Every structure is written in structure tokens, then in C-alpha cells.
A and B are shown apart, each in its own frame.
Chain A
């Protein structure tokens, strides 16, 4: 089945230690997104790629970076995680603008 896969499902890192979350898709969608969701909050868009075109949200901290080496893969890098970065990170894809987004199951990040 075509899908959006996030690895790992659970990630524990130390305060200040860089961490990378990965997302892959078999849908061949043009757009890939990264969201942060904290408990009882709405998913918050961090950034997205339209093909290779990177779009950063204005309020996304500089601590958060992303890479999309090819259509199938997208990575979220957190350079120096703080305690406030503990959250669920959701990857999503869509075929194009205005199309429904398809989500992975998320990576729950914990900071020690």
C-alpha cells in the first residue's frame, strides 16, 4: 500500500543533542510537510517542500531545519533540542496545492 512512513516512532534525545527525524513516501506526491503537535494542541506547520522549493513558516524556530534529498524522503533536523521541543512530529504529503494531505503516524520526541 502506498503510504507515508515515519521513523522512528519514538525518539529520545538529550537536551542540546542534535536529532534527525525521517519521513518517506510511496505516493509520489509533490508536496511534503512537517508539523509539530503538542498535547491537546492543533498540529502546527513548521515548513513544507513543494518539489525542491522549501517554504519555512515565519514562526518556525531557527533550531529546526529540513532536507529533501529526493521526492520520496524528507528529514527534520533539530540542531539543539530544548525541553520545549518535546512533541509529536507529523510528516504529511499532498499531490499538489489544495489537495488533501496524507499523514504518517508521527514520531514522538522526548527530551531528557
Chain B
């Protein structure tokens, strides 16, 4: 049973436009959420995170939004650049519960076209 779901396996956007990657979760105990970016032949790289006490966190071109009532989070990339083309993984954990365990989604492959 997948606790973290990324329902779009792929997304294609034009350079300069907004990319929106979505993630849903089922475990209400999750209280810390992360996005990772993965290029081919490399390991995932931490991108941005958000705690459940917030509904938005911004870092440069990247913004993560959290809707706890809907158990939904999204990553916005504005403006999108060709170098953003990668697989993006959503992950969640029970940080307050002292868990070290991250639960990952299957990823969304983003392609940014020049």
C-alpha cells in the first residue's frame, strides 16, 4: 500500500513556464515532507522540504505548498529551465515521532523543453 503517491509519471513544460509536480499521501502521521531531484546515473539530491506546521516554503525558483487537510503537496518551479529536467521524488516522514525513515513516491520525470 503506497503511502506516498505521485500520480503523474511524467510532465513536460516549456522553458520559462511554471512546472507543478504533485504528491499525495495517506498517512496522517507524516509531518515532514521533502522533495528530491535525481539526474540519470546520480543519486537523489535534496531540493526543498516543508514541515507540517507550515503551508508554504520557498527557496529561489522552488516553492513547496502543503495542504494538510487534503494530504497533498506540490512543488512549483518558476521559471522552469532545461537543467531542471530530472526525476523528482516526493518523500515523507514522521519527524516528531522520531522516525528516521523516509517514504518515497515513485517519482515524476520532468522534461523542460528549450
Chain B residues proximal to chain A, CB less than 8 Å: 2, 4, 9, 32, 34, 36, 41-46, 49, 89, 93, 95-96, 98-107
Contact = CB atoms under 8 A, between A and B. Distances in A.
A92 B93 CA distance: 15
Nearest to A45: B101
A48 B45 CA distance: 19
Contacts of B45: 103
| Chain B interface SS verdict (over half) | loop
A50 interface: yes
Contact of A105 (B2, B42, B104, B105): B42
A97 B45 CA distance: 18
Q: Contact residue range for chain A?
A: 20 to 34
Interface in A93-112: 94, 97-98, 100-106
A40 interface: yes
Nearest to B47: A100
A42 B34 contact: no
Sorted nearest first, the 8 A-B pairs with minimum C-beta distance are: A98-B95, A103-B43, A42-B104, A100-B46, A105-B43, A42-B106, A103-B44, A43-B104
Given A42-B107, A45-B102, A100 B34 contact: yes
Given A4-B43, A40-B9, A43-B44, A101 B102 contact: yes
Nearest to A3: B43
Contacts of A33: 100
Contacts of A42: 2, 4, 89, 103-107
A43 B103 CA distance: 8
